[in-house]
């Protein structure tokens, strides 16, 4: 185990986020390797931590003034043992190989947990869509797809959205793919409804996350009814997490963006949430404007010099981090526990640092790792692929029921596997081991490729 971590760190010393994601899985699966000598013999850890293919490319584009820019494009094709590579595209200035490799690595196990035939991948660019016009975003997406199209396909690699990539970007990417390939196929998910998208895909990650939280609470005979919730982010995942919390009778106190957060002691109700959706999805404004409109809310700027995020320092029952990686460190985790939070359910990918995870586990609260709790998004992407293959579209209720069933199955798998390996209630071990076994067994079946 130590050898594999040493070798990964030696090969790519700067890829800290990737090391972090691998370390957590390696820790969880040690007893699995002890029980199954065939995995060590097959050197499975070395194989599973090396992407099958890494594509890096130049993305030149022209802004509205006629100036030319160059960004870097990436696609990590991590693992195709159980299906075509599948995972989102992230457009954000922080994007680099370490971040995309951690995301692709997590995605491989998450996709295995969904019960659907999906391999793992992730991609994106260090392009920042913030402040760009629709035309600039379109030209960027077209240039990005001019290279990516030769690597993806409905049966090969099926990208989707992630941070900075939503319905608008998926539309521009799809248009260029269709033109270059002369094919109308389900090569991307998160498409708009009138040209191949699935009902419930926009809602799926947030809804799925709250379904997962409800499953955890139900093991203690409780529900979301009356629960006070802290949510970070105000993008796709945060918005639909808030919506489902409201559906199930909970109260939403916070939302944020990278500039700061709002705390609304009266609660963010449906009307206020509709304002946030318009503010973020149409106007592309800042969350600060919420406090300009609703005077009960307090806005606090994010001060990067402070070692903790005050958003997590409020009295509440549940926390749904839904912005980005490592947004809850051990100090934030201590604040949450001190404030009475009994459930943390991750909407974002790897939002809790290893120190934060230890705090939650020592406190014995419900803690759901992202690869289990946010799998609803990619699960409905899998359902979108199924509908595209059949050239039909299922009604909203049917997709939502399938999503609920999948989240319930993932929850049950985590509970059962954690128990089988002697760590009952440890959803981290449950998710890592269940995902790992499914992927590596498929790899062994398919020989040394």
Contact positions vs ligand 2IT (CB under 6 A): 86-88, 107, 110, 160, 162, 189, 349, 377-378, 381
- CB within 8 Å of 135: residues ≥ 6 apart: 64
Residue 43 binding: pick among ligand NDP, ligand 2IT, none (C-beta 5-8 Å cut-off by kind): none
- CB within 8 Å of 433: residues ≥ 6 apart: 28, 29, 32, 417, 418, 421
Say how many CA atoms lie within 13 Å of 234 toward its Cβ: 31
**Residue with the shortest CB distance to ligand 2IT:** 88
Q: To the nearest whole angstrom, how small is the minimum distance from the Cβ of residue 362 to ligand 2IT?
A: 28
Residue 131 or 221: which CB sits closer to ligand NDP?
131
Stretch that binds ligand NDP, among 157-165, 176-184, 401-409, 422-430 (CB under 6 A): 157-165
Residue 86 binding: pick among ligand 2IT, ligand NDP, none (C-beta 5-8 Å cut-off by kind): ligand 2IT
Q: To the nearest whole angstrom, how small is the minimum distance from the Cβ of residue 435 to ligand 2IT?
A: 13
- CB within 8 Å of 19: residues ≥ 6 apart: 5, 8, 9
How much is the CA Rg of the chain, to the nearest whole Å? Answer: 21
Q: Among 257, 264, 317, 400, which residue interacts with ligand NDP (rule: CB under 6 A)?
A: 257
Determine whether 122 is an active site residue.
Answer: yes
Residue 173 or 323: which CB sits closer to ligand NDP?
323
Distance of CA 309 to the CA centre of its chain: 20
Q: Among 71, 198, 254, 374, which residue interacts with ligand NDP (rule: CB under 6 A)?
A: 374
Residue 162 or 400: which CB sits closer to ligand 2IT?
162
- Please check whether residue 134 is in contact with residue 62, taking contact to mean a CB–CB distance below 8 angstroms: no
When asked if residue 322 is in the footprint of ligand NDP (CB under 6 A), the reply is yes
When asked if residue 236 is in the footprint of ligand NDP (CB under 6 A), the reply is yes
When asked if residue 348 is in the footprint of ligand NDP (CB under 6 A), the reply is yes
When asked if residue 208 is in the footprint of ligand NDP (CB under 6 A), the reply is no
Q: To the nearest whole angstrom, how small is the minimum distance from the Cβ of residue 237 to ligand NDP?
A: 4
Q: Which residue is catalytic, options 110, 122, 191, 280? A: 122
Residue 233 binding: pick among ligand NDP, ligand 2IT, none (C-beta 5-8 Å cut-off by kind): ligand NDP
Burial class (CB in 10 A: 0-12, 13-18, 19+), 307: exposed
Residue 69 or 277: which CB sits closer to ligand NDP?
277
Residue 93 or 340: which CB sits closer to ligand NDP?
93
Grouping H, G, I as helix, E, B as strand and the rest as coil, residue 352 is strand
Nearest to 234 by CA among 263, 254, 251, 249: 254
- Please check whether residue 180 is in contact with residue 145, taking contact to mean a CB–CB distance below 8 angstroms: yes
- CB within 8 Å of 11: residues ≥ 6 apart: none
User: Angle formed by the axes of helices 236-247 and 270-277, to 10°?
Assistant: 170
| Residue 428 vs residues 246, 359, 423, 439: alpha-carbon distances, Å | 27, 13, 10, 17
**Sites of contact with ligand NDP (CB under 6 A):** 161-164, 166, 205, 233-238, 257-259, 322-324, 347-349, 374, 377
User: Among all residues, which ones are annotated catalytic?
Assistant: 122
């Amino acid at each position: 185990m130590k050898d594999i971590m040493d070798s990964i760190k030696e090969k790519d010393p700067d890829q800290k986020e990737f090391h972090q994601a691998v370390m957590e899985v390696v820790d969880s699966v040690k007893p699995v390797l002890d029980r199954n000598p065939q995995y060590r013999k097959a050197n499975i850890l070395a194989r599973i931590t090396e992407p099958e293919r890494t594509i890096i490319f130049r993305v030149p584009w022209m802004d509205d003034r006629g100036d030319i820019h160059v960004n870097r494009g990436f696609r990590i094709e991590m693992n195709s043992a159980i299906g075509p590579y599948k995972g989102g595209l992230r457009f954000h200035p922080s994007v680099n190989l370490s971040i995309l490799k951690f995301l692709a690595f997590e995605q491989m196990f998450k996709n295995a947990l969904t019960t659907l035939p999906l391999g793992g991948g992730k991609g994106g660019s260090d392009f920042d869509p913030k402040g760009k016009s629709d035309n600039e975003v379109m030209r960027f997406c077209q240039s990005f797809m001019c290279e990516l199209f030769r690597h993806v396909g409905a049966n090969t690699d099926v990208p989707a959205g992630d941070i900075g990539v939503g319905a608008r970007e998926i539309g521009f990417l799809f248009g260029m793919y269709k033109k270059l390939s002369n094919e109308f196929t389900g090569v991307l998910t998160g498409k708009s409804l009138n040209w191949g998208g699935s009902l419930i895909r926009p809602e799926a990650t947030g809804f799925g996350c709250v379904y997962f939280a409800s499953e955890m609470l139900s093991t203690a005979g409780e529900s979301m009814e009356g629960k006070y919730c802290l949510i970070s982010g105000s993008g796709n995942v945060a918005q639909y997490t808030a919506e489902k919390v409201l559906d199930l009778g909970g109260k939403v106190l916070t939302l944020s963006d990278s500039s700061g957060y709002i705390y609304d002691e009266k609660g963010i109700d449906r009307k206020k949430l509709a304002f946030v959706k318009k503010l973020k999805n149409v106007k592309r404004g800042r969350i600060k404007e919420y406090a300009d409109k609703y005077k009960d809310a307090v806005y606090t700027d994010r001060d990067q010099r402070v070692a903790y995020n005050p958003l997590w320092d409020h009295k509440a029952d549940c926390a749904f981090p839904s912005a980005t990686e490592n947004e809850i460190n051990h100090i934030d985790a201590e604040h949450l526990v001190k404030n009475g939070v009994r459930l943390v359910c991750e909407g974002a990918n790897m939002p809790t640092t290893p120190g934060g995870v230890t705090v939650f586990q020592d406190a014995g609260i419900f803690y759901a790792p992202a690869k289990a709790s946010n799998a609803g998004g990619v699960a409905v992407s899998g359902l979108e692929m199924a509908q595209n293959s059949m050239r039909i579209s299922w009604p909203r209720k049917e997709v939502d029921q399938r999503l609920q069933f999948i989240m319930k199955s993932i929850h049950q798998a985590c509970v059962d596997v954690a128990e089988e390996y002697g760590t009952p209630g440890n959803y981290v071990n449950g998710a890592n081991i269940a995902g790992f076994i499914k992927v590596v067994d498929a790899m062994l079946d398919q020989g040394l490729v």
